[in-house]
Amino acid sequence: MDPLNAPLLERLRCPDTGQRLRPLSEQEMQTLRERVDAGQLRSLTGQPITQAPAHGLMRQDEQRIYPVGRFALLLSTDAIAWTQDH
């Protein structure tokens, strides 16, 4: 089962702000993997991100990524802080 199917994406929202979410592009996923490997990313709770997720959902303001594995669990504590100045 694809955790990022279109009907589900239409309904998913950031649990904190209600903003829409979109799947990361292949380029964004590559950048995410590179930043994880370089130790540059942390969760919103300050924990280092040590493994890149299989997929990711970017919040509309592009400040947060929700990791997606087999399921799309949108937990604020698992969200990855993200900025464009990487």
The domain total for the chain is 1
63 in a structural domain: yes
- Asked if residue 1 belongs to a domain, the reply is no
The pLDDT of residue 5 is 73
Token pair listed for 4: 């990022």
**Nearest-angstrom CA–CA distance, 69 and 53:** 6
What is the three-class DSSP state of 10? helix
Q: Does residue 86 sit within a domain? A: no
Q: Provide the domain limits for residue 39.
A: 6-81
* 64 domain-assigned: yes
Nearest 5°: the CA angle 80, 64, 49 is 10
- pTM of the entire structure? 0.84
pLDDT at 8: 77
* Per-residue pLDDT tens over the stretch 14-48: 999 999 999 999 999 999 999 999 999 999 999 99
- So what's the pLDDT on residue 28? 95
